[in-house]
Structure 1
């Protein structure tokens, strides 16, 4: 049995070019969650003092956000938030306890 080399390579190329990621409509919805990022691991445009992804300077920065699956933000730990959980909008961080 002979294999048509051109057809075989075309097939390999087609498979390689097929997107491995689901279409946007199939991906779960995501939302911005403020106050859950550790320093340097925020997503883009975190607010004053930051320019884009990875530029937050402190853990749980109240104006730095990370994309998370929709509906999970307010269940994620945020010691800077008055509720103790992530917020759907930037907030003013609660004061740190005095040592």
Structure 2
């Protein structure tokens, strides 16, 4: 009986954690897209070049048109570039 309770508790915890993670991505007001710092398979959504339209499909680490949401104002510290810089072709942020 104890193992069933542990299993149910673990499953419920996992479901709640997934829900919290999804809501964190939905709150983009305090976040910004940071380009050039996503790891392969760990981008947040479609890339700028349009070669894919989904999260987790980046083929290489630090692809210039791949991005992740980061805390607003922290992109340069992470070695990335903002959307405005990418669109302008700027070299800011080191990538």
Give, in angstroms, the shift of residue 47 of structure 1: 2.7
> Scaled by the length of structure 2, what TM-score is found?
0.55
TM-score, normalised on structure 1?
0.53
What is the aligned partner in structure 2 of residue 60 from structure 1?
Answer: 62
Q: 2:80 aligns with which of 68, 81, 86?
A: 86
Distance 2:52 2:76 in 1: 23
Structure 2: gaps spanning 5 or more residues: 1-19
CA RMSD in angstroms comes to 3.2
Aligned length: 66
Larger Rg: 1 or 2? 1
List aligned pairs for 1:1-99, cutoff 5 A. 29-48=30-49, 49-76=51-78, 85-89=79-83, 90=86
2:48, 2:59 → 1: CA distance?
A: 11
Query: Which residue in the other structure is 1:79 paired with?
Result: none
